[in-house]
Copies of this chain bind each other. A is one copy, B any other.
């Protein structure tokens, strides 16, 4: 699964720290998700999508093998 969190963050000029605080997780959680180290829960995906004003499927995309 890939995601465009980094891009959306850049659009809004938002740091990992700020995003982390907005959705109430640690900064490392955001960093790890961006780095593709793990797949977030649906709650996180919904919160992130909401903040960026985009549908979940536009920020998170399935890949081969998912």
A: which residues have CB within 8 A of B? Answer: 1, 39-47, 49-50, 55-57, 60-62, 66
Minimum C-beta distance from A52 to chain B (A)? 13
Q: Which of A40, A44, A47, A57 has the most CB of B within 10 A?
A: A57
Q: Which of A42, A46, A55, A61 has the most CB of B within 10 A?
A: A42
Task: Identify which of B47, B50, B57 contacts A46 (C-beta below 8 A).
Answer: B57
Report the bound CA distance from A60 to B39 in whole Å: 17
Q: Which residues of B contact A39 (CB under 8 A)?
A: 41-43
Task: Identify which of B41, B46, B66 contacts A56 (C-beta below 8 A).
Answer: B46
Please, which residue of chain B has its CB at the minimum distance from the CB of A46?
A: B62
